[in-house]
Structure formats: C-alpha cells, structure tokens
Amino acid sequence: MTVEFRSLHKSFGATKALDGLDLTAHQGELLALLGPSGCGKTTALRMLAGFEHPDSGQVLVDGEDISEVPAHRRDAGMVFQSYSLFPHLTAADNVAFGLRMRKVGAAERRARAAELLELVGLPQHADRYPHQMSGGQQQRVALARALALRPKVLLLDEPLSALDAKVRVQLREEIRRLQQELAITTVFVTHDQEEALSTADRVAVMRDGRLEQCASPAELYDTPSTAFVAEFVGTMNRLPGRATGDGTVEVLGQRLPVRGAADTSGAVDVLVRPEAVDATADEDGSARVTATAFHGAVTRLTVTLADGTTVKADIPSHRASDLAAGAAATVTLPERPVLIEAHAA
Amino acid sequence: MARLTNRRIRWWRGAVGLIAGLYFLVPLACSVLFTVDVPGQGFTLSSYTGILSASGFTSSLLLTLELAAATIVLVLGLLVPALLAARLGAPRLRPLLEVVCSLPLVVPSVALVAGYSGVLRWGPQYLSRTPLFQTFVAVQNASFPVVLVLAYTVMSLPLAYRALDAGLRAVDVRTLMEAARSCGASPVRAVFQAVLPNLRGALMNASFLTLALVLGEYTVGALLGFRPFAVWIVGIGGSQAQLSVAVSVLSLLLTWALLLVFAAAGRSRTRIPRRARAKAAPALVPQESAS
C-alpha cells in the first residue's frame, strides 16, 4: 500500500499548517514524520486519517485520491497521542469495537480480539477496563484496536509521548517488530529524533509545513541536505569559516571541500558533528578544554577556540586522559566535504 | 500543634454538621409529627392511608411524572446535540451556549409565566382563522399540557447544562469520536456507541435535576391553571392540612428514592464485567469437585 501526499496546503486561520507537502510512503515501510511542534506533521497524518481536509492538494492511497472518502470508510488504523481507549469498554471490547461496527459476529469478534491482545502481549488483560491499566498497556491495546480491521495503513500520532522513558523504548521496539511482521505501511508522527531514527525505514523531516528532507536514518544523519536537518537530527557544531566560492571553505586553518551550495562565498558557518571533530593535547594549541563528560567508549569534550567559539568533540575515552578541563589543545577536522550555511545577516 | 489544629477543625466540622442537620431535619421531623399526631386522636397513620383515596392524587402525580419524562426527553434532545456540536465543531460558541442556558436563572418563573399567558391569550385571537389555532388549543390540553413541558424545559436548561457540561469536561469527546471513526463508525454511531455511554453519569444527573425541578414546580402550573402534583398538594392543603403535609413528606421520600435509583444507574459502570463473572463461575466447579 503506497501513500502519497501531493502538494498539500492547509491553513488554520492565519497559521499555515501545511505549505505544499509532497511525500510518499512505500508499501510496507515505516515512515516517520519528524519535526518541531507546529511543523504540520500531525496535520498531514490527520489528513490521511480523514480528520482534516486539505485546502488544496491530494492524498493518494495506491494512486487513488481519497480526499473525499469519509474517515470511517478509510482503511486506516490509528493510535492517538492521548489515551483514546473507550473508557466504558474492556480491553477486549475496545479491540473488537471496529469489528462490531462492521457487524462481525460475536464469536469471531472475541476470537480476533484475543488473537490481537496476544499479539501485543496482553492476553491476560482482556477483561480489564482502561482505568485499570497502565499507560503503556493502554497504548498496546490501542495498537491492537488499530490493527483489528486489518487496515491498509497504520497511523501513529506520537503514541509514545505520554509514556515514561523505559516503557517508551520497549513499546517502540514492539511497534517496529509488529510493523515488520505484518508488513503494514505505517506513518509515525514524532518530535523525538531518537525515536524516529531508531524505528523508521525512512525519516521525513518537516519544517513550517514543508518537507526538508526524506531519507534513511543513516543518510539523514551523515549527509543532511540542509542546515535545519543537520541541527535537528543529532548534535551539530557551528564553526566560523570563510567560503571561497570555488567549492571549498577555510575553517580552523584547514581548507575543506563544501557539500552542496558550492558558489557561496564569504563568512559562513561550517556544520560538523562532534564525532568528526578531533582534539589532541598540544602545549602550543590556542584552544582550551573547558569541560569533559565521560560517555563510556567516548568522552565528549567541550573546547573553546581562540575566538571564543565553543566546539563539542567526541574522542575515544582512552585518548582523553591528557585532555582534562583546562588543558591546551588543537582541534582538527577530517578531510571530508562539510555542510555550510551562509550567515543570515 | 498539628494535632491541635486538627482537633479544632474536627470540632468545627461537628458544629457545622449539627447546625446544618438541625436546619434540615427539624422541619422534616415536625412535618412527620404533624401528620401522625392528630389532636384529639393521638398517634395515627390515617393521613397517609388517606392519600391514595384522596381525589386527584393519582391523576396529578401521573400527570407530573409524564410531564417530567417529556421534559427530560426534550431537554436532553436539545442540549446533548448542541453541546456535542459546540465541542466538536465550534468551540467558540461554547460561551454563547452557556449564557443562553443560564438565562432562565435570571428570569423569575412569574415573569416567564406572565409571558406565556400573554402569548396564549393573544395567539388564539389573532390566529383564530388559521390552522395554528388548533395548535394553541392542543398545547393547553389539560390532560397533557404541552405548554408546561415547554416552560419546564426552559426552566431546567441551566441545571441540565451544568450537569452535562461537567460530564463532558471529564471525557475527551474529540479523541473518542476520532478513535471510533477510525474504527469504522459513522459519526452518528460514534456518538451513540463511543461518546454517550461515557456520559451516562452526566445524563443521569441532568435527568434527575430536571425530574426534581418538575416534581416541585408550582408557579407555572398554578398560574396557567393546570393541576400538576405540586399544585394539587397546595390545593388540598387548604382543606386537609394533615393530608397535604403527608403528601409532601411522601413526595420527598419519592424524590430521594428516585435520586438513589438514578445514582445507582449512573454508577453501575464499575460493575464486574459479564464475561469475567462467567469465567469465574465455571472455575469454581473443578475446585469443588476436587475437594
């Protein structure tokens, strides 16, 4: 089942929620919509579910425009951010709710509900009411309910954001396992980049109602196409540099090739990940280590350069012993293309 | 120190409880005493036994209960769709709805009934040659005065609104609706199968408040010349004082009984699920046979 958003526009009063979104989720893939709050990711998902109507543009499922299909006739199971189980029904009845709407017989309903509760690991909770279950259990039941009608698409609207950290990790692994087992096309809205990177096949980073970049987690992390993506996903250093206009940039006394906008010249910020920055102890170095944080295999150094810029550098812990706070150091970058951003001013 | 303040608070609680209790219970006790202790006869229950045979008791009570039922249906039929629509579609209309529903609080029922009787007098005169004339006659039919239902509906709007609003605040109507719709329920089915069952307590409260209002309403019924229960009680009080107080005491008990019934019905959501009970029962059998 392929899902396609085609130049979707949507405004709520003066605020533009979607400003020309183009995006495709392929058959059987888990696509994460990632972005800061207000970027339009939830609006896009709600359009797919049928709860919002686009001002213009189309939502296609398997090439068919479903914009005019009412929400209850779309084949989409949804898990909501807030606990959305029906409080007056038991877990089993919640899961069977959709089957009841489809007039499936009682015996078959019960069998299917039991099967789904088994699938999400809660077979013994069939007769519990939502208020008798924990948040994580409620979301599992909600997941089972969303899958009960064998939907073509599974929609997850920040389903983990109300849970505590440990349950969140557990449940997201489970969602991933189920999604792969059922090979169901899934759209997963989240503002948590770690969640998106660890579960999704592809991550679509959104900003101000538009798509910034849609790529696999590794590609997004290693070769972000814009400065926004680079800084939203993972940690990023901004180093002052000078672009020459011929595809290279001078930074930290080195000359490095530029990825992307090669014709930029003048003062720029060079974007580098902490693990790409190397620091060595150097008596004559102009930089100074101001803080260290031990992370196991690596130690994150905070280094202040001569001009006052702060740089974070991840170096192997075994090399960090002579780089205590206060030590003089030299900071270098590997000979690899870097992403730059021209100064706004 | 903490214990001291604690004790002082308890002492006040007792005092307030006592004063409030006296305030409510003394008149009640006096009423009961008045009905069972007839001068010259000593202790007797004759006023209570006389109620059933008193002329007009059954008919006026039945009329009032019918009016109450019709009013409840009308009030809920008006308010529930309006409140749901405001919550789901037009949240900005909620304050307006609240003001409209609270308006009857500031209009005294005497003013309301003055308006009603004015219209009822004016209408037939000007509409005598139109089909609406029959409508005016029909709404004033003494065996079931629809005009009273209309008046009671207006009067119970503030009470029912508060009760329903409190219930709606406790559930996330929008999410329930959307969850139901993503499970394949049409909007109407979503309301009936996902939202309303979770408003049961609120619906019961609203119904009960409306019922209580209709049971005790005197002004409108009396001034429009009908004989619902409260009007009948006052009427009989003129001739048979003991009987009328006995009826009041009885209607108080009746109201309490109804309140308990409604409260029980509203609370029964916490009942043991049917299937769990069914499962628990057979589980006992092997245990018994084993022992």
Q: Is the pLDDT of residue B124 over 80?
A: no
Q: Does B177 touch chain A (CB under 8 A)?
A: no
Q: What is the pLDDT of residues B186-223, one digit of tens each?
A: 999 999 999 999 998 899 889 989 998 998 888 898 88
Q: CB distance A51–B181 less than 8 Å?
A: yes
Give the pLDDT confidence score for residue B278 in this predicted structure: 39
Q: CB distance B184–A90 less than 8 Å?
A: no
* B275 interaction partners in chain A (CB closer than 8 Å): 90, 92, 126-127
Minimal Cβ distance to A77: which of B182, B190, B279: B182
Q: Which of B88, B181, B182 to mutate: most A Cβ within 10 Å?
A: B182
Choose the weakest-confidence range: A46-55, A58-67, B59-68, B244-253.
Answer: B244-253
In one letter, which amino acid is A151?
Answer: P
| pLDDT band per the 50, 70, 90 thresholds, residue A116 | very high
Residue B9 domain flag:
no
Residue B64 domain flag:
yes
Please, which residues have CB within 8 angstroms of residue B167's CB and are 6 or more apart in sequence?
B199, B201, B202, B203, B205
Assign A282 to helix, strand or coil: coil
What is the helix, strand, coil percentage profile of chain A, to 5? 30, 35, 35
The pLDDT of B134-157, averaged and rounded, is 86
Residue B73 domain flag:
yes
Q: Is the pLDDT of residue A341 over 90?
A: no
Q: What is the pLDDT of residues B252-286, one digit of tens each?
A: 888 888 878 877 876 655 444 444 443 433 333 33
Give the pLDDT confidence score for residue B267 in this predicted structure: 67
Please name which of B97, B217, B216, B260 lies closest in space to residue B164, comparing C-alpha atoms.
B97
**CA distance to partner chain A, nearest, from residue B256 (Å):** 27
Structure ipTM: 0.83
- Contact, A228 vs A234, CB < 8 A? no
- Contact, A185 vs A154, CB < 8 A? yes
* Chain A residue nearest residue B278, CA to CA: A127
Q: Does B170 touch chain A (CB under 8 A)?
A: no
Whole-angstrom distance, CA of residue B119 vs CA of residue A267: 83
Residue B283 domain flag:
no
User: How many domains is chain B partitioned into structurally?
Assistant: 1
Residue B256 domain flag:
yes
Give the pLDDT confidence score for residue B287 in this predicted structure: 36
Q: Does B279 touch chain A (CB under 8 A)?
A: yes
* CATH fold group of domain A235-342: OB fold (Dihydrolipoamide Acetyltransferase, E2P) (2.40.50)
Residue B183 domain flag:
yes
Assign B63 to helix, strand or coil: helix
Domain holding B251: CATH number? 1.10.3720.10
Please, what CATH class does the domain formed by A3-229 belong to? alpha beta
| pLDDT band per the 50, 70, 90 thresholds, residue A247 | confident
In one letter, which amino acid is B278?
Answer: A
Tally the residues of chain A: 345
CA distances to A304, B11, B45, B47, B178 from B42, rounded to whole Å, are: 102, 40, 10, 13, 67
Minimal Cβ distance to B185: which of A49, A92, A101: A101
Q: CB distance A88–B198 less than 8 Å?
A: yes
* B269 interaction partners in chain A (CB closer than 8 Å): 88
DSSP state letter for A68: T
Sequence spans of domains, chain A: 3-229, 235-342
Q: What is the pLDDT of residues B168-186, one digit of tens each?
A: 998 899 999 999 999 999 9
Q: Is the pLDDT of residue B134 over 60?
A: yes
Question: Which class for A20: exposed (0-12), middle (13-18), buried (19 or more C-beta within 10 A)?
Answer: middle
Q: Does B277 touch chain A (CB under 8 A)?
A: no
| pLDDT band per the 50, 70, 90 thresholds, residue A340 | confident
Please, which residues have CB within 8 angstroms of residue B122's CB and are 6 or more apart in sequence?
none
Q: CB distance A127–B279 less than 8 Å?
A: yes
Residue B290 domain flag:
no
Sheet with A64-65: strands ordered across: A15-25, A3-12, A56-61, A64-65
* B181 interaction partners in chain A (CB closer than 8 Å): 50-51, 70-72
Q: What value does the mean pLDDT of chain B take?
A: 82
Whole-angstrom distance, CA of residue A219 vs CA of residue A225: 9
Whole-angstrom distance, CA of residue A310 vs CA of residue A306: 10
Give the pLDDT confidence score for residue A205 in this predicted structure: 94
- Contact, A203 vs A32, CB < 8 A? yes
Give the pLDDT confidence score for residue B4 in this predicted structure: 54
Minimal Cβ distance to A88: which of B197, B276, B279: B197
Domain of B79 in residue numbering reads as 44-267
B84 pairs with which residues across the strands?
A: none
Give the pLDDT confidence score for residue B7 in this predicted structure: 62
Q: In the Cβ-directed half-sphere of A209, how many Cα atoms lie within 13 Å? A: 13
Please name which of B194, B190, B189 lies closest in space to residue B171, comparing C-alpha atoms.
B194
Q: What is the pLDDT of residues A225-241, one digit of tens each?
A: 888 998 888 888 888 88
- Contact, B86 vs B94, CB < 8 A? yes
Residue B30 domain flag:
no
